[in-house]
Amino acid sequence: MSAGFRVMGIVNVTPDSFSDGGLYLDPDAAVEHALRLAREGADILDVGGESTRPGAEPVPLQEELARVEPVLAGLAGRTSAQISIDTSKAEVARAAIAAGATVVNDVTALRADPQMAAVVADAGAEVCLMHMLGEPRTMQREPHYDDVVDAVRAFLEERLAFAVHEGVSERRVILDPGIGFGKTIEHNLELIRRLDELLILGCPIMVGTSRKSFLGAIAGSARDAEPLPEDERLAGTIATNVLAFERGASVFRVHDVAPARDALALVAATLGWRWRTRIPRGTPTT
């Protein structure tokens, strides 16, 4: 980690991810894409073989393994970036760790597979625990909260306690409020606005707003036009990352590594010592 933040580059090995589905389904293309993100400054490369976009269908274990294993093998020894596996299946996580992954990004926060916590704990891997309302197929069906920030904080606090109880080191946990995962536009904005309220949990906060639909909807509305397509949402991605960084987030999951990193570096240089006091205890330094 440098300048108080880490950038996680997205490597989707899927045919149906909302932004880049099918572009990197070929293992060689995925490996080259990952290496390009590393050259652009990605601290972490997040390899995933199952889409979690709204409405996505589950992927069988063997199919997910077939998608990610060649990519993980192709990256072995070719980059200094950390390798992350974006999965909710313990067997996929175990295979990825054996291939060199040191981060498990589980959008179900260790709920989907009862073996996942043990896999993470035994490996001493970092784990990202994310809030999601329901599952990808149902999460955007009229999501409701009395107070979205309070609900997300309580959920993440419970999942953190569960992970620690199962042997995962608290210092190896990253928490993600799950922007876009069972949230309306208003919920997403409220989470970003009050993100600093999650710092009380004492873990690094990850934010993943990259190219998400609420950015396109807001920008389109500002132009009195239709929502912007995925490839025109970079400005919104950077704006939300900057806001989240100022409020204490320290890990940023993005498709476009170079511009995101440049923007965050500028913010870090501008804020100076003040942002250092916002980094929660437990943030990894290597």
Q: Is 212 a catalytic residue?
A: yes
Tokens of 219: 């920008």
Catalytic residue among 6, 53, 233, 253: 253
Q: 71 — phi, psi (to 5°)?
A: -70, -45
**Strand partners of residue 127:** 104, 173
Task: Count Cβ neighbours within 10 Å for each residue of 243-261 and write b for 16 or more, e otherwise.
Answer: bbbbbbbbbbbbbbbbebb
Catalytic residue among 89, 159, 212, 261: 212
Would you list the DSSP string of 96-147?
A: HHHTT--EEEETTTT-S-TTHHHHHHHHT-EEEEE--SS-TTTTTSS---SS
> What's the maximum distance between 2 C-alpha atoms anywhere in the chain?
53
Number of H helices, E strands in the chain: 10, 8
Tokens of 34: 């990952």
Residues taking part in catalysis: 212, 253
